[in-house]
Amino acid sequence: LSTKRTVLVLIINRCIQNMESDMKSEEENPTQRSQKRFNIKWRYVFVVFGFLGMLNDYALRVNLNVAIVEMIKPTSNSATSGADTSKGEFEWTNEAMIKGSFYWGYIVTQIPGGVLAKKYGPKWVFGIGMLVTIIMTFLSPLLSRISSMGLVAARVIEGLGEGVTIPAMQAMISNWAPVYERTKMTTLIMAGNSMGIVVGLPLSGWLTQTFGWEWAFYGPGIVSLIWFIGWCFLVYNSPKSHPYISEEEKDYILANVEEPGETPHIPWRKVLTSVPVMVIIVTYFLDNWGWYTLMTELPSYIDDVLGYDLQNNSLVSSLPYISFIIFNSIAGYLTDLAKRKKWASNTVIRKVANTIALTFPAIALLGVAFGGTNSTLVLSCFVLSGFFNGAKYSGYWSTLTDLAPNYAGALFGIGNMIATIPGFLSPIYTKALTPGEGLENTSGWKVVFITASVWYLTASAIFLVFATGATQEWNFISQSEKASQKSEVQNTISDTSKEGTSNPAFDNTHI
């Protein structure tokens, strides 16, 4: 126990030292910096850890969707439908609440996540949010055995932790991604979302069948903790705060990005009355209805209608996300190529990508709805739905950064907050349509997938007609605002010299 405590103290001390380095490294002179440099492209190191961070983010989110199939006993009337009444440890009747409870917390910290990322640095906002989720994941089996509401509480707190991750990661991308690499870096990092599902679902299924459902929580928790340690030591808020980056790479990045730290205040009135922003948020909401329906309910659908065992269920459930990753990478490459070659305007490029991302999945889900128990047809349609939806990070998702790179974290906080609502409404809606067990739910599942298809088509049409990829005027700082900011900084320095030295961890100039 003493040894473990010592190791934990050393890790915490190293994280604190690393955080202080983030804040202070800008003050080093060029000679000091040159002595520390390594011949590494540090923006790609960020991409790798960003990808792994999003992978763990989603693996910790979806593990419950597999484990719960084994945790809950079927209802008392399920014997007549052929369900396996021997499985399950808990006689819970609030499955929809448990599945949706993560998003109760998730929705609360979206806007604070963007604001905190801007004020204190996105690296630590993302990292601490993940650490909260990791801790609650380890505690989930214990809390589950106390009561179902104990698990609900754990999931709510996990949601609070993960709620800051998307806006913080978008702020990191805005800091690190040169304009002609932005789509590629965004798609690669956000591919971690789908890879987290691809890895998380079968891993949770295998761990549950091999060691028990508790390991669907312990396994991903251990992997995520290892990632967190690497994130603390190797990732920095921006090129300006990185102590090891080469001058060449730093100058290249800074010449091709607008750093969020340059803006004094978020123009909330202009943001909330911006038609292009609202168009993307509506698109985001409708797309997420389909995304969350598949992510939370696909294992239950396969259990009900196709009747696969848990391990095959979890493997099959991951197939749409494997195809998503493949086309996500292709779309990101083609989008950046089109921008670099100037084949079309940014608006046209984003609209083409988004139309592909939402229209074809809508058609595929209609195939699922009317495919019945034809597993070959149904699974093929699921794979096609995931494949084409992979273009969304080249569509509306990247467009939000295009509109206002200086406020990327805050905008994604707003967008992700509203788009989280389907996360807890979709399980309730689905459970209302599928209250029974097994094949008796077939007609209800048909309505579930038709609904998702309609929302995809609606989102595609709205974005195609009303969206723009042009940077908005309110993204830029006017000369008067710059003068005002400079005056405020000078006054702060003057006040500090009279009153004492401020804590650099809370100094916005280092972000």
Ordered DSSP codes for 330-387:
HHHHHHHHHHHHTSS-HHHHHHHHHHHHHHHHHHHHHHHHTTTT-HHHHHHHHHHHHH
Nearest to 171 by CA among 126, 207, 215: 126
Three-class SS of residue 214?
A: coil
Top-ranked range on mean pLDDT: pick from 406-415, 484-493, 495-504? 406-415
The confidence score (pLDDT) of residue 499 equals 43
The confidence score (pLDDT) of residue 397 equals 87
Whether the pLDDT of residue 69 is over 90: the answer is: no
Query: What's the whole-number average pLDDT of the chain?
Result: 83
Whether the pLDDT of residue 80 is over 50: the answer is: no
Longest dimension (CA), the chain: 80
Top-ranked range on mean pLDDT: pick from 74-88, 237-251, 395-409? 237-251
Output the CA–CA distances (angstroms, integers) from residue 52 to 45, 127, 174, 181, in the order listed.
11, 12, 18, 19
Locate 186 and state its tokens: 């965004």
Locate 397 and state its tokens: 């998702």
Contact status, residue 485 vs residue 387, Cβ threshold 8 Å? no
- Residue 276: pLDDT band by 50, 70, 90 thresholds? very high
Q: What is the rounded distance in angstroms from the CA atom of residue 195 to the CA atom of residue 128?
A: 22
The confidence score (pLDDT) of residue 10 equals 59
Nearest to 101 by CA among 258, 296, 290: 296
Please list, residue by residue across 46-82, b when 16 or more beta carbons sit within 10 angstroms of its beta carbon and e when fewer do.
Answer: bbebbbbbbbbbbbbbbbbbbbbbbbbbbbeebeeee
Considering only residues 296 and 227, tell me which one the structure prediction assigns the higher pLDDT.
Answer: 227
Considering only residues 309 and 483, tell me which one the structure prediction assigns the higher pLDDT.
Answer: 309
Contact status, residue 70 vs residue 310, Cβ threshold 8 Å? yes
Contact status, residue 477 vs residue 410, Cβ threshold 8 Å? no
Q: What is the rounded distance in angstroms from the CA atom of residue 264 to the CA atom of residue 251?
A: 23
Considering only residues 264 and 470, tell me which one the structure prediction assigns the higher pLDDT.
Answer: 470
- Residue 87: pLDDT band by 50, 70, 90 thresholds? low
Considering only residues 64 and 6, tell me which one the structure prediction assigns the higher pLDDT.
Answer: 64
Mean pLDDT lowest among 3-17, 397-411, 468-482, 491-505 = 491-505
Q: What is the rounded distance in angstroms from the CA atom of residue 452 to the CA atom of residue 295?
A: 12
> Could you report the per-residue pLDDT of 311-340, keeping only the tens digit for each?
888 889 889 989 998 998 899 889 989 988
What residues pair up with 213 in beta bridges, in sequence order? none
Whether the pLDDT of residue 38 is over 70: the answer is: no
> Could you report the per-residue pLDDT of 180-214, keeping only the tens digit for each?
888 789 878 988 988 998 899 999 999 999 999 99
Ordered DSSP codes for 34-53:
HHH--S--HHHHHHHHHHHH
Contact status, residue 445 vs residue 433, Cβ threshold 8 Å? yes
The confidence score (pLDDT) of residue 17 equals 60
Residue range 40-61: mean pLDDT, rounded = 95
Whether the pLDDT of residue 437 is over 80: the answer is: no
End-to-end CA distance of the chain: 38
Q: Angle at Cα 310 formed by Cα 306 and Cα 315, nearest 5°? A: 80
Residue range 4-32: mean pLDDT, rounded = 51
- Residue 12: pLDDT band by 50, 70, 90 thresholds? low
> Could you report the per-residue pLDDT of 107-148, keeping only the tens digit for each?
999 888 878 988 889 999 999 999 999 999 999 999 999 999
What residues pair up with 1 in beta bridges, in sequence order? none
The confidence score (pLDDT) of residue 305 equals 87
Contact status, residue 156 vs residue 104, Cβ threshold 8 Å? yes
- State the DSSP H helix or E strand holding residue 419, giving kind and residue range, or none if neither: helix 408-419
Q: What is the rounded distance in angstroms from the CA atom of residue 403 to the CA atom of residue 507?
A: 27
Q: What is the rounded distance in angstroms from the CA atom of residue 216 to the CA atom of residue 201?
A: 9
Residue range 366-388: mean pLDDT, rounded = 93
Q: Angle at Cα 362 formed by Cα 360 and Cα 368, nearest 5°? A: 110
The confidence score (pLDDT) of residue 23 equals 47
Locate 155 and state its tokens: 């999931």
The confidence score (pLDDT) of residue 189 equals 92
Mean pLDDT lowest among 86-95, 127-136, 137-146, 373-382 = 86-95
Q: Which residues contact 24 (CB under 8 A, 6 or more apart)?
A: 504, 510
- Residue 487: pLDDT band by 50, 70, 90 thresholds? low
Q: Angle at Cα 286 formed by Cα 378 and Cα 374, nearest 5°? A: 5
Locate 118 and state its tokens: 């801007």
The confidence score (pLDDT) of residue 218 equals 97
Whether the pLDDT of residue 483 is over 70: the answer is: no
- Residue 426: pLDDT band by 50, 70, 90 thresholds? very high
Q: Which residues contact 105 (CB under 8 A, 6 or more apart)?
A: 155, 156, 157, 158, 159, 160, 161, 163
Residue range 491-505: mean pLDDT, rounded = 41
Domains of the chain (ranges, CATH numbers):
40-73+92-244 (1.20.1250.20), 263-486 (1.20.1250.20)
Whether the pLDDT of residue 309 is over 80: the answer is: yes
Residue range 160-181: mean pLDDT, rounded = 90
Contact status, residue 398 vs residue 260, Cβ threshold 8 Å? no
Whether the pLDDT of residue 84 is over 70: the answer is: no
Ordered DSSP codes for 353-368:
HHHHHHHHHHHHHHHH
- Residue 30: pLDDT band by 50, 70, 90 thresholds? very low
